[in-house]
Amino acid sequence: MATTPESVDLLGAFLKDRRAKLDPVALGFQTSRRRTPGLRREEVAQRASISATWYTWLEQGRGGAPSADVLERIAQALMLTDAEREHLFLLALGRPPEVRYLPTEGVTPRLQRVLDAFSQGPAFVKTAMWDVVAWNRAATVVLTDYGKLPPEKRNILRLVFQENRVRDAQFDWEGVARFVVAAFRADVARVGMASKVEGFIDELRTTSPEFDAIWRSNDVRGYGDGLKRLRHELLGPMSFEYSSFIVDGRPDLSLVVYNPATPEDAQRLASLMKDMPG
């Protein structure tokens, strides 16, 4: 997607505005003889380790399209938020920046309340590593009681390939396993983690010949939405429609929601949850 003259003008105005909002003193610069608030152009260039002339041209719309690396350094120099960083890339290159993986041990209270609002359907948040970091009560009842597992065991690939209980709950375990591995491969590549998960992949390949064979097929696919069928230990066969959503502001996190596929499934699940403690 190419930039336009309008976006070039907007980029210059955006950079100038962000520059004006920074405190020179807090960043170690002198404040004497400043005619305007904020940092000077050469100070931004110094913080970004780029040419002051090149940065000036960029604000003036004369420098041509910068590289992604230069934009990353400018974003850091201007102390941009994630939303501002994305805006910078869209104006300068006509595309968002690469997704950055941010290790997390949980979610915000607000996002947990969103999960809890799905009172009659399992819902959880997973990372690009497919670690489950938050879930609702229905997920505990239908899928896995993640709270009883240590954090390193709350990984969907580990559960699929290392837990017989999870395997036995699938109507088509091999199809599910292939789907999970292909979607996992796409996710870690999307957030630039392919080289960082080699130890995890080696572990699974060593402990599961089935994972090893599936991994070597090199299949890739998105998570998206679809139909999930399970054998529940108390309810028997259950069907769910599932959808996956990227969490706004955290593109390395996905919210996955399961809805009972039929009124009968919904009624049986509601009855079970009413009788379950908690």
pTM: 0.71
pLDDT for residue 133: 94
Residues pairing with 247 in the sheet = 250
- CB 71 within 8 Å of CB 88: yes
pLDDT for residue 255: 95
pLDDT for residue 195: 73
Q: What is the mean pLDDT of each run of 10 residues along the chain (278 residues)?
A: 70 89 85 81 92 90 82 91 84 79 74 91 94 95 93 94 94 95 88 80 94 92 89 93 88 92 93 79
pLDDT for residue 120: 85
pLDDT for residue 1: 46
Give which of 207, 190, 204, 198 is closest to 244, Cα–Cα: 190
Q: Where are the beta strands (DSSP E) in 69-129?
A: 123-127
Residues pairing with 124 in the sheet = 135, 256
Sketch out the chain's domains with CATH numbers: 5-93 (1.10.260.40), 109-275 (3.30.450.180)
